[in-house]
Structure formats: C-alpha cells, structure tokens
C-alpha cells in the first residue's frame, strides 16, 4: 500500500498516521472510488486537520462531490 501512495507528500505540519491513511484509502475504495480519484483528492486536502478517520472520510467525500 505504501508504494502505491508514494506520490503523496506531506509537510511536517501535515504529518498523518500511515495507518489512518491506509484505512482512509481502503474505506474510499470500498465506497467505489478508484485509486486515481482518491490520490488526486488526497493531494489537495490537509489531512492533519481531521481528528479522526470518520471526520477525514466525511471531509474527503464532501471535497469529492464538490470537485465533480
């Protein structure tokens, strides 16, 4: 999984738990999004602003709807 997300980079302020990132990608894939859509969206979002996986999923889904 880590190798598939190698293009995502984060600054020190944007440190994100790898476990949370993996769970997030798996959750979004389970909802039918492909890796390209997920990666493109994750590059635009500051994941450190989310306090939980649930908050991150909600925020990303809102962003994906807006971006469509």
| Inside any domain, residue 3 | no
| Inside any domain, residue 1 | no
Q: Based on the structure, what is the number of domains in the chain?
A: 1
Q: By residue range, what is the domain housing residue 60?
A: 35-67
| Inside any domain, residue 60 | yes
| Inside any domain, residue 14 | no
Give the tokens for residue 47: 């994941």
| Inside any domain, residue 4 | no
| Inside any domain, residue 54 | yes
- Residues 3-62 pLDDT 10s: 555 556 655 444 557 778 899 999 999 999 999 999 999 888 888 889 899 999 999 999
This prediction's pTM: 0.67
DSSP secondary structure string, the chain?
A: -TGGGTT----GGG---HHHHHHHHHHHHHTT--HHHHHHHHHHS-GGG-SSHHHHHHHHHHHHHHH-
| Inside any domain, residue 63 | yes
| Inside any domain, residue 6 | no
């Amino acid at each position: 999984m880590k190798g598939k997300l190698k293009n995502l980079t984060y600054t020190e302020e944007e440190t994100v738990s790898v476990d949370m990132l993996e769970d997030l990608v798996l959750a979004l894939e389970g909802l039918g999004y492909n890796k390209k859509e997920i990666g493109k969206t994750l590059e635009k979002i500051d994941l450190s602003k989310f306090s939980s996986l649930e908050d991150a999923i909600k925020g990303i889904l809102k962003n994906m709807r807006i971006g469509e």
